[in-house]
Amino acid sequence: MQNIEDFLKQHRITEIEAIIPDMAGIARGKITPRNKFTSGESMRLPQAVMVQTVTGEYPEDGTLSGVTDPDMVCVPDPSTICLIPWASDPTAQVIHDCVHFDGSPVEISPRYVLRRVLALYKAKGWKPVVAPELEFYLVDMNKDPDLPLHPPIGRTGRAETGRQSYSIEAVNEFDPLFEDIYEYCETQNLDIDTLIHEVGAAQMEINFNHGDALSLADQVFLFKRTVREAALRHNMYATFMAKPMEGEPGSAMHVHQSIVDEETGRNIFTGADNGPSKMFYHYLAGLQKYTPALMPIFAPYINSYRRLSRFMAAPINVQWGYDNRTVGFRIPYSGPSARRIENRIPGVDCNPYLALAATLAAGYLGMTQALEPTEPLVSDGYSLPYQLPRNLEEGLSLMAACEPIREILGEKFLKAYFALKETEYEAFFRVISSWERRHLLLHV
């Protein structure tokens, strides 16, 4: 706690937002005055927070978090403390880990699930290196959820009417917003790299520099909140929905990943001859084999599967190829030390802790089981059949039947995750859509 107290004193902090990421990646926690936070009294939250759905409901099975609705203890991670740059008073935020009163981890906590997978790598002397790329849309403020979304007005007074991939001028339309985003990220030590305009109208992408998986998950968690806050201050919304607008491409969280030897720092994806190693191919094969069963994490909502369609800048299968953006796993051109795999399947609506845990789990299983991948695809991946689940129900069925995934991510976590997703699906299924009223009301 000394590091935290020094930080609070240095920045004259008056309030602290003590936060945890829930299953959806939403920040939950408490806002406390400084003297309360430093008093030594631990923060507690109900364990049920971890199984609250994105709609605010809970699974009927009370045993998931304890039938008596018990508390869990939230322990601050000193490495995560940073300023909240948009707060009116000097305010800090600290990400917490969740433990039981005996000190054992809360196994359904997303941050713990990632720690669990990283511990497997550490036991082998390996260290994952990841670099997420986040796509998102800027949209006009829309207070009626029944109305379609539209691009916001830029500095020219006009909204985008066409796609502007990699356009500098299209990004410049929102310069004041991005200046705030960069300033906010710098204040929070979020290690972002480049900004580009993506394919969709007012669709942007910000890339993170490569680094430690847990640190990058924390940064993505904070970044989403940062972008939404910055956008609100410029009278627009930023959305990380996977498919927010009909007719426009969806938004992904591509993850570049490699593994280094902890002792030597050598990239184990590269062999002694500077070519791809056996571990590279085993890891790739693990992604191919286990990704379909991990889709409820990579594509966690009904809306997520709308993104995964042909010719819409999103993969539909688990093929791989060199510098091929039409497949699930792209191998970018690079030098031997930077050899990596880009997983293009996760949507940006995923929980970053769970998505990184899932992609690393698949690669770990591939390496430890010495799996062999298919041949690289040199043609258009969209011309091949779908290999990914087409909806959340199918994905959950595949996940439930996959014993290796259950073992590596944890029985308690998967049981809670299944129940939460089934509860969310039931809430969605009760809604009658405008499409149904338009086409069925008077015609069937």
Which pLDDT does position 1 carry in this prediction? 66
Q: Read off the pLDDT of each residue in 6-33 and give the average, rounded to a whole number.
A: 96
What's the pLDDT band for 62 if we cut at 50, 70, 90?
A: confident
Half-sphere CA count of 109, side-chain side, radius 13 A: 26
Other beta carbons within 10 Å of 164: 19
CA 283 to each of CA 242, 248, 256, 270, 373: distance values in angstroms, whole numbers, following the listed order: 26, 32, 13, 12, 9
Mean per-residue pLDDT for 398-427?
96
Tell me the average pLDDT across 316-330.
97
How many Cβ atoms from other residues are within 10 Å of residue 220's Cβ?
Answer: 26
Gap between the Cα atoms of 418 and 396, Å rounded: 7
Residue-wise pLDDT for 168-206, tens only, equals 999 999 999 999 999 999 999 999 999 999 999 999 999
Q: Which range has the worst mean pLDDT, 65-74, 124-133, 213-222? A: 65-74
Confidence of residue 3 (pLDDT cuts 50, 70, 90): confident
From residue 335, give the alpha-carbon distance in Å to each of 239, 267, 270, 338, 372: 35, 11, 9, 5, 23
C-beta separation of 285 from 371 below 8 A: yes
Strand partners, 131: 256
CA distances from 116 to 129, 273, 289 (A): 16, 33, 21
65-121 per-position pLDDT tens digit: 877 889 999 999 999 999 999 999 999 999 999 999 999 999 999 999 999 999 999
Q: How far is CA 77 from CA 4, 18, 357, in A?
A: 9, 10, 19
Residue that is written with structure tokens 């993506």 in the block:
198
Kindly state the percentage of the chain with pLDDT values over 70. 100
Lowest mean pLDDT among 7-16, 96-105, 157-166, 177-186: 157-166
All domains in the chain, ordered by first residue: 2-105 (3.10.20.70), 118-409 (3.30.590.10)
Residue 2 has pLDDT above 80, yes or no: no
Residue 188 has φ and ψ, to the nearest 5°, of -95, 5
Q: What is the pLDDT of residue 301?
A: 97
Type of residue at 300: P
pLDDT averaged over the chain? 95
For residue 40, pLDDT beyond 90: no
Which pLDDT score is estimated for 69?
86
Paired tokens of 233:
């201050």
- Three-state SS sequence of the chain: CHHHHHHHHHCCCCEEEEEEECCCCCEEEEEEEHHHHCCCCCEEEEHHHHHCCCCCCCCCCHHHCCCCCCEEEEEECHHHCEECCCCCCCEEEEEEEEECCCCCECCCCHHHHHHHHHHHHHHCCEEEEEEEEEEEEEEECCCCCCCCCCCCCCCCCCCCCCCCCCCHHHHHCCHHHHHHHHHHHHHCCCCEEEEEECCCCCEEEEEECCEEHHHHHHHHHHHHHHHHHHHHCCCEEEECCCCCCCCCCCCEEEEEEEEEECCCCCECCECCCCCECHHHHHHHHHHHHHCHHHHHHHCCCCCHHHHCCCCCCCCCCCCEEECCCCCCEEECCCCHHHCCEEECCCECCCCHHHHHHHHHHHHHHHHHCCCCCCCCCCCCHHHCCCCCCCCHHHHHHHHHCCHHHHHHHCHHHHHHHHHHHHHHHHHHHCCCCHHHHHHHCCCC
Question: What is the predicted pLDDT for the residue at 219?
Answer: 98
Q: Quick check: 277 and 336 in contact, CB under 8 A?
A: no
Please list, in sequence order, all residues whose beta carbon lies within 8 angstroms of the beta carbon of residue 391, skipping any fewer than 6 positions away: 302, 305
- Residues constituting the chain: 444
User: How far is residue 171's CA from residue 193's CA, in Å, rounded to a whole number?
Assistant: 15
Among 427, 364, 423, 366, CA closest to 126: 364
Name, in order, each residue with C-beta under 8 angstroms of 237's C-beta and a sequence gap of 6 or more: 138, 139, 140, 141, 142, 152, 228, 231
Whether the CB-CB separation of 130 and 213 falls below 8 Å is answered with: yes
